[in-house]
């Protein structure tokens, strides 16, 4: 299934089913008014959602409407919990070497993760409104999952069964503010503004053979101001999403609707580029002695999109402009 949340004037929007080719939509509010409601009652509502989704794709619903991604909020506009990992160790290695940081003990066996703010997720075409472009504005292309309720102590094998939906996101970072917050040991606050999401969340079966081992085995294409920036492959995750879930649930249960991110998609192959500016700057520092690529400025645009094995857009595209807050 493919699901989206359309604007209706409320904080949580209205749940819609989206056709596989992302051209048509139909309201699903009579089955579940919001995506949060659907995730909380997945066992009770998923069959009805699936039947309507099949009818939509078969052209059997006369009341279907054209899908406009500009009218979409984030699939889950606000979440009880947002946990972001750093599951591509190539990215961590580049940062560690470029900035001469002390290596972290256990990084190859214990996932890195921080708890971010899930109360204000942005839609795919919403402006990224920020107070200053001196803060080192960076995009971070990621994949993510939405889970139903996960019990404390859930194993990685069991965790696979709790993954209900997959998402694509831009975890915006303010790099000039990050170093001090990392030194405190208390985690990110100012350095992480609201994350934005591609318009459509999909069930894992929509990926076909591209979903296995708890990983999205697809490239994530990133453009900055209309120019190619990278297309790193999601299959290079050193920890699968099931392992990320088990890590988070070691000492607590996870509420239905918890969102977990992969961290910046990153590959060791330099030919595939990057999914964030900081990584390109780290490579410049290592190879040329200094970072040459600037961070984003007001007026810049970033676009991110993943396509399935048949070349069909999967989640829809993130396409956003950076603007000064208040304008």
159: CB partners within 8 A, 6+ apart = 147, 150, 214, 241, 242, 243, 245, 246, 249
The pLDDT assigned to 191 comes to 79
The pLDDT assigned to 182 comes to 77
The pLDDT assigned to 102 comes to 79
> Residue 313 forms beta bridges with which residues?
307
Read off the pLDDT band of 92 (50, 70, 90).
confident
pLDDT digits (tens, 9 = 90+) for 194-226: 999 999 999 999 999 999 999 999 999 999 999
The pLDDT assigned to 16 comes to 98
The pLDDT assigned to 232 comes to 98
Virtual torsion, Cα 197, 203, 209, 213, nearest 10 deg? 80
Residue entry with tokens 């304008």: 327
Q: Which H or E run contains 52?
A: helix 42-57
Residue 47 has pLDDT above 80, yes or no: yes
pTM: 0.96
Residue 326 has pLDDT above 90, yes or no: no
Measured from the Cβ of residue 29, the count of other Cβ atoms closer than 10 Å reads: 14
Helix axes 89-98, 277-288, angle to 10 degrees: 50
User: What integer is the mean pLDDT of 76-105?
Assistant: 89
The pLDDT assigned to 180 comes to 84
User: What integer is the mean pLDDT of 179-189?
Assistant: 79
The pLDDT assigned to 327 comes to 56
pLDDT digits (tens, 9 = 90+) for 268-324: 999 999 999 999 999 999 999 999 999 999 999 999 999 999 999 999 999 999 999
Measured from the Cβ of residue 322, the count of other Cβ atoms closer than 10 Å reads: 20
Residue in 17, 27, 59 with CA at minimum distance from that of residue 201: 17
User: What integer is the mean pLDDT of 13-23?
Assistant: 98
Read off the pLDDT band of 101 (50, 70, 90).
confident
User: What integer is the mean pLDDT of 29-36?
Assistant: 98
Cα–chain center distance at 301: 18
Q: How far apart are CA 215 and CA 238, in angstroms?
A: 9
Q: Supply the mean pLDDT for the chain.
A: 95
């Amino acid at each position: 299934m493919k699901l989206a949340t359309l604007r209706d004037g409320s904080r949580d929007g209205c749940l819609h089913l989206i056709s596989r080719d992302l051209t048509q939509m139909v309201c699903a509010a009579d089955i579940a008014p919001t995506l949060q409601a659907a995730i909380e009652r997945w066992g009770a509502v998923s069959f009805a959602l699936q039947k309507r989704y099949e009818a939509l794709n078969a052209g059997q619903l006369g009341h279907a409407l054209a899908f406009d991604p500009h009218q979409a909020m984030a699939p889950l506009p606000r979440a009880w919990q947002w946990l972001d990992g750093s599951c591509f160790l190539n990215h961590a290695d580049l940062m560690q070497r470029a900035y001469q940081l002390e290596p972290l003990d256990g990084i190859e066996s214990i996932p890195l993760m921080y708890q971010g703010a899930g109360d204000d997720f942005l839609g795919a075409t919403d402006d990224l409104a920020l107070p200053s472009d001196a803060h080192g504005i960076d995009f971070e292309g990621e994949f993510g999952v939405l889970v139903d309720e996960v019990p404390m102590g859930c194993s990685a094998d069991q965790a696979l069964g709790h993954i209900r939906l997959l998402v694509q996101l831009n975890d915006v970072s303010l790099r000039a503010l990050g170093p001090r917050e990392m030194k405190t040991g208390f985690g990110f606050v100012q350095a992480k503004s609201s994350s934005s999401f591609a318009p459509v969340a999909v069930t894992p079966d929509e990926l076909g053979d591209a979903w296995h081992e708890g990983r999205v085995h697809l490239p994530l294409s990133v453009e900055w101001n209309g120019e190619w920036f990278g297309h790193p492959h999601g299959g290079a995750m050193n920890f699968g999403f099931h392992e990320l879930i088990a890590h988070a649930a070691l000492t607590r249960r996870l509420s239905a609707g918890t969102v977990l991110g992969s961290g910046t998609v990153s590959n060791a192959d330099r030919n595939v580029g990057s999914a964030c500016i900081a990584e390109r700057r780290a490579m410049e520092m290592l190879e040329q002695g200094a970072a040459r690529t600037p961070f984003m400025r007001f007026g810049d645009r970033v676009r991110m999109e993943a396509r399935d094995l048949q070349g069909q857009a999967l989640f829809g595209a993130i396409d956003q402009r950076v603007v000064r807050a208040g304008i």
